[in-house]
Amino acid sequence: MTSPVEQAAELLRRTRFLLVLTGAGISAESGIPTFRGKDGLWNRYDPQDLATPEALARNPRLVWQWYNWRRGLILKARPNPGHEALVHLEQHFGDRFLLVTQNVDGLHQRAGSQRMVELHGNIFQEVCTRCGFERYHEATYPEEALPPACPQCGGLLRPGVVFFGETLPEEALRQAFAAARQADTALVIGTSAVVYPAAALPYEVKNHGGRLIEVNPEATPLTSLAEVSLHEPAGRVLPRLVRLLHSRNPKA
Ligand code: OAD
């Protein structure tokens, strides 16, 4: 009997264009907490207090304390073998590949991914709410500097992430959906697949006749639609999947 990971490797061998969609689960093994589930951030914190434009207007210091804490966790973290396996997949598929991430942690780029788009922005990006000044600032702030002020006009800086109720970056969204229409396989990793429009991407691939491979220790709304489900941590199963893809004899 062929194991699920061998089936997934076989599907990848037949794939012409691969869309990869990642969520918080791919960074879990790097020590970055996910949002939902038992130990998820949204179990401990209310997104209405921390991740909306209203929350920023009401209490910018509290919002920044939270993002600053997450920046600290991310700066201490390293990409894990799951992120690294996706770099190998990118090299294998070349321009027949796009990685779309909902993560704001930048770990895919640190691992070496290049053909990728960030749908929810980046936690180290900063934008001035008054003059629109933008910068990439890969650092945490000392507590007394929060909330940070714009170096150009003194206005309030905000993190360059998508808050609840905001639209996604237009160009990233366009590229992601164009790739979903082209893709004959979607590899969906570490996402609860409940936040739209990102969660619509696997359906878009399916609707255009493509197939889904899901990597997630838990079942999600996509599981019953997936051709192959790999119910294992991404950092463990993705390196195996890449090895099998490259091996001549898939049974070896
Ligand atoms: P979630 O926290 O909703 O889901 C994480 C998923 O990862 C769950 O389905 C877990 O079962 C799975 N998971 C956990 N550990 C894993 C591992 N080692 N390997 C593979 N999978 C694992 O995170 P997202 O789906 O990314 O949005 O959440 C989507 C969006 O909701 C986020 O981008 C964020 C959040 O609110 C914004 O901030 C706009």
Q: Which helix (H) or strand (E) holds 18?
A: strand 18-22
Residues 152 and 252 in one domain: no
Q: How many whole angstroms from its chain centre is CA 136?
A: 18
Say what the pLDDT of residue 39 is: 84
Instruction: Indicate which CATH number applies to the domain containing 130.
Output: 3.30.1600.10
Instruction: Indicate which CATH number applies to the domain containing 180.
Output: 3.40.50.1220
Beta strand pairing status for 121-128 and 134-136?
A: antiparallel
pTM above 0.85, yes or no: yes
Number of folded domains that form the chain: 2
Average pLDDT over residues 218-234: 97
By the 8 A CB rule, do 219 and 227 touch? no
Domain interval for residue 116: 1-31+79-120+168-252
pLDDT surpassing 90 at residue 196: yes
Average pLDDT over residues 143-155: 97
How would residue 252 be classed by pLDDT, with cut points 50, 70 and 90? Answer: very low
From 88, 92, 108, 120, active-site residue: 120
Residues 112 and 4 in one domain: yes
Residues 241 and 178 in one domain: yes
Q: Which one of 112, 137, 161 terminates a domain? A: 161
| Exposure letters 140-176 (e unless 16+ CB within 10 A, then b) | bbeeeebbbebeeeeebbbbbbbbeeeebbeebbebb
120 is catalytic: yes
Give the ligand 1 atom nearest the CA of 191.
25
Q: Over the stretch 123-148, which tens digit does the pLDDT of each residue have?
A: 999 999 999 999 999 999 999 999 99
Say what the pLDDT of residue 238 is: 98
Residues 130 and 221 in one domain: no
